[in-house]
Structure 1
């Protein structure tokens, strides 16, 4: 992909309705690979409260929440979070993401993940970012690999999805800068 087709930005209160619509459209798809969300996750008010909380989390260096926007029309097509922020000797976090199923297979999430990783390394000065994906979701594993993550192993029985404990492939990327 020579020119970026997507961009990422922090979520804003005005995004609540569009995020809610995206999650509702993709609920069945997302629920296959993610811990089941409570019904309230699919309400606009809940999304608004999450966005408001995300601002405080960002200020307090706990979590960073981004939306993925299609460059052509500015439409929100996904979300990415950097969570489980640990400072001190670890300087690490975990990346997680969701992409509207209609946009799968076009390289959009790989590009968005690369943008967030650059921000995490250059601006937030993380040393290491971990991502996990279900082995049943090879597309998600490919996103991380194409973004420069390397497989580290399998976390056995670590995430409960639809009432069943599932294994997850663990991948990580290390900040190439030695100035950290």
Structure 2
């Protein structure tokens, strides 16, 4: 799936080295907003294993993990995933993303999010996509709003980050076919 400046695609085994580099170079930034990662997360073996897990999750319709790649250079600049895919009466998923700090404020995350939302609604036929953002992360909230998400409220102390329970602003988007 492609936009003007970036494309997203499922991770391949050969992406492990580049994914490890992305994670290591952005460790401080990513860990400030994501669930606790253990030291062995930052090894090539674990990144290879994660990419295998991503493929298994896709096959079982549990989660869909993509790399965000710059069109011009082909460089991996971020990740975006649909996780906690729920079928039955919910038909929903949760979206999460992370972008290399060198590429912030260029609109790449918004473009990637729009591509993932289109995939979720058109290919997966989901009804709803949710996202949770720490209330002080205004840039991430803006990304979601630019992609059509609306604020729904604050989930109190719902995610543990660096050993502390954090509140999250909850946002969601509904498939337009269901409105």
Normalising by structure 2, report the TM-score.
0.96
CA contact (8 A) 2:19 2:76 kept: yes
Structure-1 residue corresponding to 2:171: 171
d(CA) in 2 for partners of 1:34 and 1:53? 19
Matched, 1:48 2:48: yes
Structure-2 residue corresponding to 1:113: 113
Deviation at residue 178 of structure 1 after TM alignment: 3.9
The root-mean-square deviation of aligned C-alpha atoms, in Å, is: 1.2
- Look up the SS of the partner of 2:177 in the other structure: coil
- Look up the SS of the partner of 1:77 in the other structure: strand
Number of aligned residue pairs: 177
CA contact (8 A) 2:110 2:146 kept: yes
Structure-2 residue corresponding to 1:62: 62
Deviation at residue 44 of structure 1 after TM alignment: 1.1
- Cα deviation digits, residues 57-113 of structure 1 (max 9, x gap): 111101101000011101000001100010001000000011001101110000000
Deviation at residue 32 of structure 1 after TM alignment: 1.1
d(CA) in 2 for partners of 1:120 and 1:39? 32
Deviation at residue 122 of structure 1 after TM alignment: 0.2
- Look up the SS of the partner of 1:4 in the other structure: coil
Change (3 A) 1:178 1:155: closer
Structure-1 residue corresponding to 2:13: 13
- Look up the SS of the partner of 1:16 in the other structure: helix
Structure-1 residue corresponding to 2:31: 31
- Cα deviation digits, residues 16-35 of structure 1 (max 9, x gap): 00000000000011111112
CA contact (8 A) 2:127 2:178 kept: no
- Look up the SS of the partner of 1:56 in the other structure: helix
- Look up the SS of the partner of 1:177 in the other structure: helix
Structure-2 residue corresponding to 1:153: 153
Instruction: Give ranges in structure 1 of 5+ residues lacking alignment.
Output: none
In the TM superposition, 1:57-136 aligns within 5 A as 57-136=57-136
Moved over 6 A (4+): none
Instruction: Give ranges in structure 2 of 5+ residues lacking alignment.
Output: none
d(CA) in 1 for partners of 2:37 and 2:56? 22
d(CA) in 1 for partners of 2:95 and 2:142? 14
